[in-house]
Structure 1
């Protein structure tokens, strides 16, 4: 059985991950993703917004899992995807998220544009324009964070590295 790392070593590894590019982008992905799905879920939504909510919640949960597995250095516990494949797993997750966030952004922009008529000052009825605009902004920020992770992970993978930090 391998020797257990000391508490100070575990703390150093956690701080190292939190200060890394991937750690920072993961935190941003979690925050922006939560902002997106909370904004949508807190308002009335229908139709294609269900896809946006699906993408936001799915990747928020997956990103949360990847974040904590990496933070706690437990990626070896993941069968088939962990260990020396962890960087490739993270890269595949980030690519899938970025690709699926692009149509989600399109849906949010379309819905925002469809409700732009109620952005007038004299319009007094209930309107989802501001909620859709906020959700579109969160979707764009989240997609950008995933694209940054793809670039960072891709650079590490091209250099032949196996670890995420």
Structure 2
């Protein structure tokens, strides 16, 4: 018996692919923000991005390794509901984060001119806004997928 078996079926599943996209887009968002000077409401965006990046990593690896039964109260037959609740919370919190990034991008649009020579965060905020939108879309896709599975009476994420 192998000590740790990897469920390759999960990697090829719709949710597995969407989880990978969530991890990549989430990392892109928080790295874009953290690598540059930020202030004010951007802290909320960074909080949402890092929190859900870490939680998504945990869900991904627990499912990939087939260890969801070891999670007290949330694992086992509740794993689909746990994933669904996580995805709903992520989508809901990413929406105001997108609003913050769009607001900050618009506030810095004045410096998007070729002749403007000072340091400007417009492109950083625009990139972060795109990553936030991609993250939210990925979480919304997994909400729809999880809700469909739940409505069919299924209890597993694969």
SS at structure 2 position matched to 1:162: coil
> How big is each residue's C-alpha offset from its partner over 1:131-155, in whole Å with a ceiling of 9 and x where there is no partner?
0000000000000000000000000
Q: Structure 2, unaligned stretches of length 5 or more? A: 1-6
SS at structure 2 position matched to 1:22: helix
Residue 87 (structure 1) aligns with: 80
Q: Structure 1, unaligned stretches of length 5 or more? A: 1-13
Aligned partners of 1:163, 1:15: CA distance in 2, in Å? Answer: 15
Aligned partners of 2:8, 2:135: CA distance in 1, in Å? Answer: 23
User: Is 1:60 the equivalent of 2:77?
Assistant: no
User: Is 1:154 the equivalent of 2:154?
Assistant: no
Aligned partners of 2:49, 2:106: CA distance in 1, in Å? Answer: 20
SS at structure 1 position matched to 2:66: coil
TM-score, normalised with respect to structure 2:
0.96
> How big is each residue's C-alpha offset from its partner over 1:52-81, in whole Å with a ceiling of 9 and x where there is no partner?
000000000000000000000000000000
> How big is each residue's C-alpha offset from its partner over 1:9-36, in whole Å with a ceiling of 9 and x where there is no partner?
xxxxx22100101000000000000000
SS at structure 2 position matched to 1:26: helix
Cα RMSD, aligned residues only = 0.3
Higher-Rg member (1/2): 1
Residue 4 (structure 1) aligns with: none
Residue 139 (structure 1) aligns with: 132
